Amino acid sequence: MSDFPTRARVVIIGGGVIGCSALYHLAKKGWTDCVLLEKNELTAGSTWHAAGNVPTFSTSWSIMNMQRYSTELYARLGEEVDYPMNYHQSGSIRLAHSPERMQEFERAAAMGRYQGMDIKILTPDQVKEIYPFIETHDLAGALYDPNDGDIDPAQVTQALAKGARDMGQKIIRFCPATGVTQTDDGWIVHTEKGDIACDYVVNAAGYYAQRVGEWFKPYGGRTVPMMVMSHQYLLTEEIPEIEAWSKETGKKLPLLRDVDVSYYLRQEKHGYNLGPYEPNCRAHWATPDDPMPEDFSFQLWSDDLDRIEDIVTDAMERVPLMASTGVSRVINGPIPYAPDGLPLIGPMPGVKNAFEACVFTFGIAQGGGAGKVLAEWIVEGQTEWDMWAVDPRRYTDYTDADYCVQKGMEVYGNEYAMHFPHHEWPAGRNKKLSPVHDRVIALGGVMGAYNGWERANWFAQPGDDTSREATHTWGRSGPWQARVKEECEAVRDHCGVLDLPGFSRFELGGDGAAEALRGLVTGALPKIGRMNLVYIADPRGRILTEMSCLRLGEDEFVMITAASAQWHDRDLLTATMPDGVTVKDVTTTRDTLIVTGPKSREVLAPLTDADLSLGWLSHQVATVAGQPAFVVRVSFAGELGWEVHALNADMPAIYDAILAAGAKPFGMYALNSLRIEKGYRAWKGDLSTDYTVLQGGLERFVKFDKPQDFPGKTALLAEQEQAPSRRFVTLTVEAGAADAPYMSCIWRDGDIVGETTSGDWGYRVGCSIALGMLRADLAVPGTELEVEIYGQRHRAVVQPDQPLWDPANERLRA
C-alpha cells in the first residue's frame, strides 16, 4: 500500500468510540501525525451494540468530571465536525426506594452542583409531573439530571473519526495489529499490512484488550485485569401513548433508572429500551470450554431472558405501559469489566511509552472524557483532573483470572448498588495475606481489602454483628463504633498494635542515588540513620506522591509508601533514577507492625535490644522477640510509637510476643480516626494532583534554596510569590449522624467555597473532623462555614494550622 504509514507519533489499537476519541483529542492538542488501527470496521466491538446512554451521575468526582465533559462535547460535536448526530438530552430520573438511597442522591447532586450541573432532588409527586406513566406510591424520591440522555454510538464514533481525519490523523480499517516490538526510542507496531514505527502506543482494544496486553509482557507488562460480561437489553414494539405524548410535548420521555431494582428504561423511538443488570449474571470467555473467538465483530449471543424475567416484571409494574406491548428485539453482547467496573485510562504499568484506554463498561458515556484524559497523559504527561480512579496502576499482581471474573460479576450484579463507607464487598478476597493473618482473624479481625492485602478494619467481640447488612448505612454508628472507640482509647492510654501488610517498599541505591533523589523530591533528604517525609510534584507543582524516606547510607535508602501506590510509585522511581541507581521492590517480602501508645516503650523494652531512647524519626536494626527486625521511631497514629518491620517468616513470633506483653490489636478504622486528629494526609484523598504542594499546606517540605531544579520548582516559586488561591484546612464539624465523605461541599454565605478531602470522628478529641481545601481568604482559624453531608448543611469551624490532638507533638516525641 503506497499510502500505508510507516511512521507515526502515536498508534492506537482499536477503533471503537474510545480509540476514535483519543485520536480526535490528540489532534486537538496538535499531534496530528497519529494512526488508529482497527481490525474490522469502526465500532465493530462493544460500541456497535451499546445502548448509548450518556449519564453524568457518579459518586466519584473524577468519573463525574469525565462524564460531564462527554455531555458537553457531544452537544457541540456534530456542528464542530459537520456530521449528523442523534443526541437526545432528555434528562433522567433515578428512583429511590429508601432514605439511604436519597442520601446517596443528595451527595451526588451536591458534587454535580459544584461542577456546574443543574442536578435536582425530586419528590414522588414531582416525578409524576414529568413522567406521567410511572407508579410512584412506594418511592422515597428521585434525582433528576437534565443533561442525561442518549446518543447513537455509531454516529458519535464516526463524528470523532471524521473530526480526527479532518485534522490530519489516519485511520486504517480492516488492518489487525499482530504484535509490538519495543525499540530504543519507541515502538514498532506490526500489522498484516506492514510495520509502523511510533513513539507511543495505546491499547484501546475493548474486550480484546487483554489479548493485546499480552504483547507487552516481554517489556515489563502484565495481564490486563478484566473479564467480559454478557449484557442484555430489550427493545419493545411501539406504544401509541408514548407516540402521542412525544407529539404533544415535542420531546422524549426522561430516561428512568430504578437503581434499587437495577435497570434503566429509555424511550426508543415510540417504544422502550429496557436494560437490566441482573444478579444472576453470566461471564463469557472465562472458561476453557468457552474460548474467546479470534473475531467477534458485529456479533451477538442468543438471548437468555430467563435471567432477567424478574426485573422485566418489576419494570412493567413500575411503568404499566411496558406490559401493553411486545418485545421486538433482544440485544445480548459482550461488555468488558475491570474488577471495580471502572475503565483503565493512563500509563501501562511497568511499560515505557505505552498507554491503556480500555475495559470500558460505559464507553459511550465516558468516551468523550476518556479521549481528553488520555491525550493529556500522552502529550503533557499529566491530566487536568486527578484520575487515580481509572489509572491502570491502581491494580497490582493480585488480579488473576479468578479475581477478575469474581469481581466483574459482583460489580455487574450490583451495578447500581450503594457503596457504603463501612461495607466490604465479599468477592475476590484473600488474595494477599499477612504472615499473621490467621492470628488476626482469631482475635476477631473484621477484614478489608487494601490493594489486595487483607487488613483488619476493626476487631469484633463475641456477639457483635459482623453481617454485611449491618454496614448498609452512611452513618458512623454501627457494630464497629464501640469497638473502634475502645481501640482508639487503648492507643491513647496504653499501647495498641496494628498489623499492616502491604506497605509499598523500595530499596534504592547506587552511586548518585542521593543526588538523584535531591533532584526529584521537593525537600531535603534525611541524614544517615534518620527518616523524613518527602513529596514529589509534577511540573505544575501538584502532589504526585508522598513517601517515607529512610536513609541507611550515603547512597542507600528505603522508600516506603501506601499499599495502593505500589506500581504508581515504582514506575515513578524507575523512570526518574539514572543509570547506576537501582530500584528494588521488596513489598511482598516483609510485614509491618505499628506499635503505638504511651506505654509502647514499656511493651517493647523487654522484647528488644533496640535503643528505644533514640529520638523521633530514627531507625535501627535490632532484634524483637529474638527475630531480626528493622525498628523505626514513627507513628501514623500520632502517639509515642514504633514501626516494626520484619521478614514474613519472622513476624508471627514478634506479633505473638507484643500481644502477650499487653498490646491491644486495633484496625484501620481506628487508625483513620487517629491520623485525622493529627491532620495527617492520606494519599489520593487529601494528597492528589488536584492540589499543589503549597495548597496542601506542605511548605515545610519544600526546599526552595537547594540548587536542584526538582519537578514543579518553577511553578511553586511562582505560586509562592502570588500566594496560593486555596489552602488546606482542618475543620471541626457539628456533623450529626454521619461524618463528611470525600468531596463534600463547603459553603459560606450561600456559595460553595471548598471541598472536604476526608472526614471521620475523632475519639480522642470527641468531635467530627474534616480535612479539606478552602478558598484562601477563609482559611483563618475561627471562620465559621457549613459542610454539606448527604444533603444537610452542618456548622463547621476552621481550626489553627496544627494537630487537634497533641498540637505540640509532645506525646509523639516522649
pTM over 0.95: yes
User: The sheet that has 543-553: what strands, in order across it?
Assistant: 531-537, 543-553, 556-561, 504-509, 582-585
pLDDT, averaged across the chain: 97
Nearest-angstrom CA–CA distance, 621 and 645 = 10
Q: Report yes or no: 542 and 533 within 8 Å, Cβ to Cβ.
A: no
Q: Rounded mean pLDDT of 287-303?
A: 93
Q: 382: which DSSP letter?
A: S
* Residue type, position 468, single letter: R
| 3-state secondary structure (DSSP) of residue 482 | helix
Q: Is the dihedral of CA 314, 320, 326, 327 positive or negative?
A: negative
Residue 528 has pLDDT above 50, yes or no: yes
**Cell numbers 492510654: residue:** 493
Nearest-angstrom CA–CA distance, 596 and 573 = 30
pLDDT band at 3, cuts 50/70/90?
A: confident
Nearest-angstrom CA–CA distance, 580 and 37 = 38
* Residue type, position 466, single letter: T
Q: Rounded mean pLDDT of 572-586?
A: 97
Nearest-angstrom CA–CA distance, 239 and 244 = 9
CA dihedral of residues 483, 487, 489, 491 (deg, nearest 10):
180
| 3-state secondary structure (DSSP) of residue 332 | strand
pLDDT band at 437, cuts 50/70/90?
A: very high
Enter the C-alpha cell of residue 353: 511509552
Enter the C-alpha cell of residue 542: 501538584
Nearest-angstrom CA–CA distance, 754 and 291 = 50
pLDDT of residue 2: 61
Q: Report yes or no: 597 and 487 within 8 Å, Cβ to Cβ.
A: no
Q: Report yes or no: 517 and 552 within 8 Å, Cβ to Cβ.
A: no
Parallel, antiparallel or unpaired: strands 92-96 and 641-647: unpaired
For the chain, give the percent of residues with pLDDT over 70.
Answer: 100
Q: Report yes or no: 178 and 192 within 8 Å, Cβ to Cβ.
A: yes
Q: Rounded mean pLDDT of 370-395?
A: 98
Neighbours of 316 (CB within 10 A): 14
Residue 552 has pLDDT above 50, yes or no: yes
H-helix or E-strand containing 774? strand 767-775
pLDDT band at 736, cuts 50/70/90?
A: very high
pLDDT of residue 631: 98
Using one digit for the tens of pLDDT, what is the confidence trace for 400-426?
999 999 999 999 999 999 999 999 999
Enter the C-alpha cell of residue 350: 511497568
Residue 159 has pLDDT above 70, yes or no: yes
Nearest-angstrom CA–CA distance, 300 and 495 = 60
Per residue, what are the HEC states of 260-311? CCCEEEEEECCEEEEEECCCCCCEECCCCCCCCCCCCCCCCCCCCHHHHHHH
> CA geometry: angle at 61 spanning 414 and 72, to 5°?
100
Residue 184 has pLDDT above 60, yes or no: yes
Using one digit for the tens of pLDDT, what is the confidence trace for 99-158?
999 999 999 999 999 999 999 999 999 999 999 999 999 999 999 999 999 999 999 999
Q: Report yes or no: 161 and 17 within 8 Å, Cβ to Cβ.
A: no
Residue 1 has pLDDT above 50, yes or no: no
| 3-state secondary structure (DSSP) of residue 556 | strand
Compute CA 437 distance to the chain's CA centroid, rounded to the nearest angstrom.
26
- Beta-carbon contacts of 660 under 8 Å, excluding residues fewer than 6 positions away, are none
Residue 57 has pLDDT above 60, yes or no: yes
Using one digit for the tens of pLDDT, what is the confidence trace for 744-791?
999 999 999 999 999 999 999 999 999 999 999 999 999 999 999 999
